[in-house]
Amino acid sequence: MSIELKQELEQRLQALEPDHLQVIDESHLHAGHAGSQGGARHFRVILWSARFDGLSTLARHRLVYDRVNDLIPFPVHALAIVARPNP
């Protein structure tokens, strides 16, 4: 399931027109954590996009969450976000 879920996250985040996108499944780092019970996953998203130019960190994170909100808290329990304008 995690491969399909990773692909789903990648597909949904394409709407933000990323120049760089990494979706990393970090669930193995949270084994035994209460949030991972029942198969919920932990991901880290690293995303650079011109769509983030001039936006605050909070605004950039909101754009990311808007794309995946219906997946939280299950099947995605946690989402760490690094969202920046293009370097």
HEC secondary structure over the chain:
CHHHHHHHHHHHHHHHCEEEEEEEECHHHHCCCHHHHHHCEEEEEEEEEHHHCCCCHHHHHHHHHHHHHHHCCCCEEEEEEEEECCC
Is the pLDDT at 5 greater than 90? The verdict is: yes
- Confidence bin at 36 (pLDDT 50/70/90): low
Domain residue limits at 54: 2-84
- Confidence bin at 25 (pLDDT 50/70/90): very high
- Our count of domains for the chain comes to 1
Beta strand extents in the chain (DSSP E only): 18-25, 41-49, 76-84
CATH number of the domain to which 42 belongs: 3.30.300.90
